[in-house]
Amino acid sequence: MPILPPAAPGVRVVSPVTADAVDSLRLVLLVAYLQSELYSRAVGAAGFVAAADAIVFGTLSTQETNHVASLAALLTARLAPVPPRPTFDFTVKGALPGFAFAAGQYETFRMLAQAFEDLSVRTYKGQVQALVADKTALNAALAIHAVEARHAAEVRRIRGKKGWITGSNREDLPAFLQPIYAGEELTTQGTVDVAAGVGELGGAEAASQAFDEPLTAAQVTAIITPFIA
Protein backbone atom coordinates (compact mmCIF):
# COMPACT_ATOMS: atom_id res chain seq x y z
CA MET A 1 0.00 0.00 0.00
CA PRO A 2 1.68 3.21 -1.09
CA ILE A 3 2.04 5.96 1.45
CA LEU A 4 0.51 9.23 0.36
CA PRO A 5 2.66 12.30 0.85
CA PRO A 6 1.06 14.69 3.30
CA ALA A 7 -0.82 17.56 1.75
CA ALA A 8 1.23 20.73 1.81
CA PRO A 9 -0.28 23.63 3.77
CA GLY A 10 -2.45 25.78 1.58
CA VAL A 11 -2.80 23.17 -1.13
CA ARG A 12 -6.44 22.56 -1.87
CA VAL A 13 -7.25 18.91 -2.43
CA VAL A 14 -10.27 18.92 -4.69
CA SER A 15 -11.55 15.48 -3.80
CA PRO A 16 -11.36 13.15 -0.85
CA VAL A 17 -8.17 11.21 -1.30
CA THR A 18 -8.02 7.62 -0.29
CA ALA A 19 -5.23 5.13 -0.71
CA ASP A 20 -7.77 2.86 -2.44
CA ALA A 21 -8.50 5.47 -5.06
CA VAL A 22 -4.83 6.13 -5.75
CA ASP A 23 -4.07 2.42 -6.08
CA SER A 24 -6.98 2.06 -8.47
CA LEU A 25 -5.89 5.00 -10.58
CA ARG A 26 -2.38 3.56 -10.78
CA LEU A 27 -3.68 0.21 -11.95
CA VAL A 28 -5.89 1.63 -14.70
CA LEU A 29 -3.05 3.96 -15.73
CA LEU A 30 -0.85 0.91 -16.22
CA VAL A 31 -3.42 -0.59 -18.59
CA ALA A 32 -3.75 2.74 -20.40
CA TYR A 33 0.03 2.88 -20.81
CA LEU A 34 -0.03 -0.62 -22.28
CA GLN A 35 -2.76 0.30 -24.74
CA SER A 36 -1.37 3.66 -25.79
CA GLU A 37 2.05 2.06 -26.33
CA LEU A 38 0.57 -0.68 -28.51
CA TYR A 39 -1.29 1.79 -30.71
CA SER A 40 1.46 4.37 -30.94
CA ARG A 41 3.95 1.68 -31.97
CA ALA A 42 1.55 0.36 -34.61
CA VAL A 43 0.58 3.76 -35.97
CA GLY A 44 4.23 4.80 -35.94
CA ALA A 45 5.41 1.81 -37.98
CA ALA A 46 5.32 2.93 -41.61
CA GLY A 47 2.89 0.91 -43.70
CA PHE A 48 1.99 -1.43 -40.83
CA VAL A 49 -1.65 -0.50 -40.21
CA ALA A 50 -3.96 -1.44 -43.08
CA ALA A 51 -5.34 1.59 -44.88
CA ALA A 52 -8.90 0.45 -44.22
CA ASP A 53 -8.24 0.44 -40.46
CA ALA A 54 -6.18 3.61 -40.29
CA ILE A 55 -8.96 5.86 -38.97
CA VAL A 56 -9.99 3.33 -36.34
CA PHE A 57 -6.50 2.76 -34.98
CA GLY A 58 -5.65 6.43 -35.23
CA THR A 59 -8.71 7.18 -33.09
CA LEU A 60 -7.77 4.46 -30.61
CA SER A 61 -4.22 5.78 -30.36
CA THR A 62 -5.39 9.33 -29.74
CA GLN A 63 -7.97 8.34 -27.15
CA GLU A 64 -5.67 6.02 -25.21
CA THR A 65 -3.05 8.74 -25.08
CA ASN A 66 -5.78 11.03 -23.76
CA HIS A 67 -6.62 8.47 -21.07
CA VAL A 68 -3.00 8.32 -19.93
CA ALA A 69 -2.94 12.10 -19.56
CA SER A 70 -6.30 12.20 -17.76
CA LEU A 71 -5.34 9.51 -15.28
CA ALA A 72 -1.96 11.08 -14.62
CA ALA A 73 -3.70 14.40 -13.95
CA LEU A 74 -6.07 12.73 -11.49
CA LEU A 75 -3.12 11.26 -9.59
CA THR A 76 -1.31 14.59 -9.56
CA ALA A 77 -4.43 16.33 -8.26
CA ARG A 78 -4.45 13.83 -5.41
CA LEU A 79 -0.81 14.56 -4.63
CA ALA A 80 0.18 11.07 -5.64
CA PRO A 81 3.25 10.44 -7.78
CA VAL A 82 2.55 9.40 -11.35
CA PRO A 83 4.18 6.03 -12.05
CA PRO A 84 6.51 6.15 -15.05
CA ARG A 85 5.56 4.40 -18.27
CA PRO A 86 7.06 0.90 -18.13
CA THR A 87 9.13 -0.52 -20.95
CA PHE A 88 6.81 -2.97 -22.63
CA ASP A 89 7.71 -6.28 -24.25
CA PHE A 90 5.18 -7.13 -26.93
CA THR A 91 6.84 -10.46 -27.59
CA VAL A 92 5.40 -11.24 -24.14
CA LYS A 93 8.59 -12.88 -22.93
CA GLY A 94 8.63 -15.09 -25.98
CA ALA A 95 4.94 -16.00 -26.14
CA LEU A 96 4.79 -13.99 -29.39
CA PRO A 97 8.33 -14.64 -30.65
CA GLY A 98 9.70 -12.00 -32.97
CA PHE A 99 6.66 -9.75 -32.81
CA ALA A 100 7.86 -6.27 -33.74
CA PHE A 101 5.03 -4.49 -35.62
CA ALA A 102 6.59 -5.78 -38.83
CA ALA A 103 5.16 -6.86 -42.17
CA GLY A 104 3.12 -10.03 -41.83
CA GLN A 105 2.39 -9.41 -38.15
CA TYR A 106 -0.66 -7.19 -38.53
CA GLU A 107 -3.21 -9.73 -37.32
CA THR A 108 -1.14 -10.38 -34.20
CA PHE A 109 -1.32 -6.67 -33.48
CA ARG A 110 -5.10 -6.64 -33.97
CA MET A 111 -5.40 -9.63 -31.62
CA LEU A 112 -3.44 -7.77 -28.96
CA ALA A 113 -5.65 -4.72 -29.49
CA GLN A 114 -8.77 -6.81 -28.90
CA ALA A 115 -7.24 -8.49 -25.87
CA PHE A 116 -6.15 -5.20 -24.29
CA GLU A 117 -9.50 -3.49 -24.88
CA ASP A 118 -11.44 -6.37 -23.36
CA LEU A 119 -8.90 -6.44 -20.50
CA SER A 120 -9.28 -2.71 -19.97
CA VAL A 121 -13.07 -2.92 -19.67
CA ARG A 122 -12.72 -5.57 -16.99
CA THR A 123 -9.95 -3.67 -15.21
CA TYR A 124 -11.93 -0.44 -14.81
CA LYS A 125 -14.98 -2.43 -13.80
CA GLY A 126 -13.02 -4.03 -10.99
CA GLN A 127 -11.83 -0.68 -9.66
CA VAL A 128 -15.10 1.27 -9.61
CA GLN A 129 -16.01 0.25 -6.08
CA ALA A 130 -12.67 1.51 -4.76
CA LEU A 131 -13.40 4.92 -6.29
CA VAL A 132 -16.93 5.52 -4.96
CA ALA A 133 -15.76 7.89 -2.24
CA ASP A 134 -14.01 10.10 -4.79
CA LYS A 135 -16.78 11.13 -7.16
CA THR A 136 -14.57 13.04 -9.58
CA ALA A 137 -12.25 10.08 -10.02
CA LEU A 138 -15.26 7.75 -10.09
CA ASN A 139 -16.89 9.64 -12.95
CA ALA A 140 -13.61 9.86 -14.85
CA ALA A 141 -13.16 6.11 -14.53
CA LEU A 142 -16.74 5.44 -15.60
CA ALA A 143 -16.40 7.78 -18.57
CA ILE A 144 -13.23 6.00 -19.70
CA HIS A 145 -14.64 2.55 -18.89
CA ALA A 146 -17.51 3.04 -21.35
CA VAL A 147 -15.13 4.29 -24.01
CA GLU A 148 -12.98 1.20 -23.54
CA ALA A 149 -16.07 -0.88 -24.18
CA ARG A 150 -16.73 1.09 -27.37
CA HIS A 151 -13.13 0.45 -28.39
CA ALA A 152 -13.43 -3.24 -27.63
CA ALA A 153 -16.56 -3.60 -29.72
CA GLU A 154 -15.02 -1.77 -32.69
CA VAL A 155 -11.78 -3.76 -32.65
CA ARG A 156 -13.73 -6.99 -32.36
CA ARG A 157 -15.98 -6.02 -35.24
CA ILE A 158 -13.20 -5.05 -37.63
CA ARG A 159 -11.72 -8.46 -36.83
CA GLY A 160 -15.02 -10.05 -37.88
CA LYS A 161 -16.09 -10.89 -34.32
CA LYS A 162 -19.17 -9.90 -32.37
CA GLY A 163 -18.84 -6.69 -30.37
CA TRP A 164 -19.52 -8.54 -27.11
CA ILE A 165 -18.01 -11.49 -25.27
CA THR A 166 -19.80 -14.84 -25.37
CA GLY A 167 -19.17 -17.07 -22.39
CA SER A 168 -15.44 -17.02 -21.66
CA ASN A 169 -14.64 -17.42 -25.36
CA ARG A 170 -11.36 -15.79 -26.35
CA GLU A 171 -12.26 -16.29 -30.04
CA ASP A 172 -9.05 -16.83 -32.04
CA LEU A 173 -6.67 -15.26 -29.53
CA PRO A 174 -3.66 -17.28 -28.33
CA ALA A 175 -4.22 -19.47 -25.30
CA PHE A 176 -1.97 -17.41 -23.04
CA LEU A 177 -4.56 -14.60 -23.23
CA GLN A 178 -7.35 -16.81 -21.85
CA PRO A 179 -7.14 -15.22 -18.35
CA ILE A 180 -8.56 -12.03 -19.95
CA TYR A 181 -11.80 -13.95 -20.58
CA ALA A 182 -11.92 -16.22 -17.55
CA GLY A 183 -15.05 -15.64 -15.49
CA GLU A 184 -16.97 -13.88 -18.27
CA GLU A 185 -19.30 -16.87 -18.57
CA LEU A 186 -21.61 -15.95 -15.68
CA THR A 187 -25.32 -16.30 -16.40
CA THR A 188 -26.53 -15.56 -12.87
CA GLN A 189 -26.27 -11.99 -11.59
CA GLY A 190 -26.82 -11.42 -7.90
CA THR A 191 -29.63 -13.78 -7.09
CA VAL A 192 -31.17 -13.61 -10.56
CA ASP A 193 -30.88 -16.46 -13.06
CA VAL A 194 -30.62 -14.23 -16.12
CA ALA A 195 -30.47 -17.17 -18.52
CA ALA A 196 -33.89 -18.27 -17.29
CA GLY A 197 -35.06 -14.67 -17.48
CA VAL A 198 -34.32 -14.34 -21.17
CA GLY A 199 -35.55 -17.87 -21.82
CA GLU A 200 -35.77 -18.65 -25.51
CA LEU A 201 -34.41 -15.22 -26.44
CA GLY A 202 -30.82 -16.35 -26.34
CA GLY A 203 -30.72 -18.21 -23.03
CA ALA A 204 -27.32 -18.64 -21.42
CA GLU A 205 -25.48 -17.20 -24.40
CA ALA A 206 -27.40 -13.92 -24.26
CA ALA A 207 -27.19 -13.84 -20.46
CA SER A 208 -23.40 -14.08 -20.56
CA GLN A 209 -23.06 -11.51 -23.35
CA ALA A 210 -25.35 -9.00 -21.63
CA PHE A 211 -23.09 -8.54 -18.59
CA ASP A 212 -19.36 -7.84 -18.59
CA GLU A 213 -17.49 -9.07 -15.54
CA PRO A 214 -14.78 -7.42 -13.43
CA LEU A 215 -11.21 -8.58 -12.88
CA THR A 216 -9.43 -8.05 -9.59
CA ALA A 217 -6.25 -6.01 -9.34
CA ALA A 218 -4.32 -9.23 -8.73
CA GLN A 219 -5.77 -10.83 -11.86
CA VAL A 220 -4.95 -7.77 -13.96
CA THR A 221 -1.42 -7.58 -12.60
CA ALA A 222 -0.83 -11.24 -13.41
CA ILE A 223 -2.07 -10.73 -16.96
CA ILE A 224 0.02 -7.60 -17.58
CA THR A 225 3.28 -8.67 -15.94
CA PRO A 226 4.54 -10.70 -18.95
CA PHE A 227 4.09 -7.61 -21.13
CA ILE A 228 6.52 -5.59 -19.00
CA ALA A 229 10.16 -5.93 -19.95
Q: Which residues bind another protein (CB under 8 A)?
A: 52-53, 55-56, 58-60, 62-63, 66-67, 70, 121, 124-125, 128-129, 132, 135-136, 138-140, 142-154, 157-158, 162-164, 189-192, 194, 196-202, 206-207, 209-214
Q: Which is nearer to another protein, 18 or 91 (CB)?
A: 18
Helix axes 106-127, 19-44, angle to 10 degrees: 170
Cβ neighbors of 80 (< 8 A, separation 6 or more) are 2, 4, 5, 17, 22, 25, 26
Dihedral sign from CA coordinates of 197, 198, 200, 204: negative
Neighbours of 60 (CB within 10 A): 25
Q: Which is nearer to another protein, 189 or 225 (CB)?
A: 189
3-state secondary structure of 193: strand
Closest C-alpha to 163, from 108, 118, 119: 118
Q: Which is nearer to another protein, 93 or 135 (CB)?
A: 135
Q: Which is nearer to another protein, 91 or 188 (CB)?
A: 188
Find the shortest distance in angstroms from Cβ 92 to another protein.
25
Find the shortest distance in angstroms from Cβ 124 to another protein.
8
Q: Which is nearer to another protein, 90 or 134 (CB)?
A: 134
Find the shortest distance in angstroms from Cβ 9 to another protein.
27
Separation of alpha carbons 147 and 155, rounded Å: 12
Find the shortest distance in angstroms from Cβ 182 to another protein.
16
